[in-house]
Amino acid sequence: MTGTFTSVIRGFGLLCVFWGFSYCLSAKAAEAEADYCSADASGNYFTPLAPVRAETSELCFTHSEEIKSVENLVLADVAVQPQFHDPALNVIHLSGRQLKTKVFLKNKPLLIVAEPYKRHSMAKLCKELIQGGFQSPKILIGGDIAGSDTVSIVSVEDFIVEVSNFGAVTVATSRQVAKELSVLGIASVAVEENLQLAPVVHKAALDYSINGYLPVFLVGRKSEEAKLKLQLESEPLSDVYLVSGGIEQIKSALKMSSLNAVKRQGLGGVSSCAG
C-alpha cells in the first residue's frame, strides 16, 4: 500500500515538474516572441560580409574600355530588364540559367551583359560557365556600352545581396544616414553638409571601388529619393546606383530578414509577428 502510494506521489510530482517546465518554456517563448516582434529598428541585423566562396570567380569580369568592338561579339543579355535593343548587334536575350545550356556558344566570343551592379550573381555565373566548358566568356561590369543615360535605381534586396556577398562602396547622403548604416553594420562614406554630391561620390569610387571592381551605391532618405535622382541625372556621375526606399527600407528589410532567421532556427512559440 505504502509502495503504491509513494509511486502515485512520485508520478504526481513528475507531472507537476513537467507541467512547470512546459509552462516556463512557453512563457519564455512568448517573451521571446514579444522581444523579436518588437525588435528595435536600430539593432544590428546585418550579416557581415561573407568570405569569398569557392563557387564564385571574377575571371570573366571586364570593363567597357577593354571592349574594342562589340560588332564581332555575341552579346548575351541576361538582365531582367534587357540592356540592348539595337537590331544591328548580335544580341541574345536569355537568363543566366538558359545561357549555361547553350552548347553552341561555348566556342564563341561571348560578352555577357547584366545589370551593371550585379557582381555576386555574375561571379557565380562565371564559375559555372568555365566549369561547363565555355572557352572565353566575358562579363561586362560597370560602364554602359548600350549608351543609356538613365539613373540606375536598385532595390534594397539587390543592395543587401551585393554588400553581404561580394562587397560594395556605400555613400551616405549625410552623417546621420552614415551613422544609421553603421549601427546596422554597414560602413559608408558620408557626404558632409554643404558639400556637393558628385565630388564625394567620385572620390569614394576612386578610393574604394578598386578601379570599378566594386559597385558604388548611394543611400539617402526615402523622402529625398526624387531629388537625388534629379541630381544624378544632371551631374556627370556614372557607375553609381541609388538604393530605392533609402535607409528606412534597408532597416525594414534587414529587420524582417532577422526575424525570419530567428523563426528558421526553430525557437518554439515564434510563429508570426503581426502588426
In this structure, how many other beta carbons lie within 10 angstroms of the beta carbon of residue 85?
Answer: 11
Rounded Cα distance, 82 and 232, in Å? 22
pLDDT at 249: 96
Which pLDDT belongs to residue 69? 79
**Position 33, amino acid:** E
CA separation for the pair 84, 90 (Å, rounded): 10
pLDDT tops 90 at residue 48? no
pLDDT band for position 248 (cuts 50, 70, 90): very high
| Neighbour tally for 82: CB within 10 Å | 12
Question: Among 117-131, 143-157, 255-269, which is the least confidently predicted range?
Answer: 255-269
Average pLDDT, the chain: 77
Higher pLDDT: 162 or 47? It is 162
Cell numbers given for 58: 571574377
Please, what is the end-to-end C-alpha distance for the chain in angstroms? 58
Of 134, 131, 129, the C-alpha closest to 105 is 134
Residues 200-247: tens digit of each pLDDT: 999 999 999 998 899 999 999 999 999 998 888 887 676 799 999 999
Using CA atoms, how far apart are residues 249 and 224, in angstroms rounded to an integer?
Answer: 13
E-assigned strand segments in the chain: 61-62, 74-77, 91-93, 110-113, 138-140, 153-154, 169-172, 189-190, 216-219, 240-243
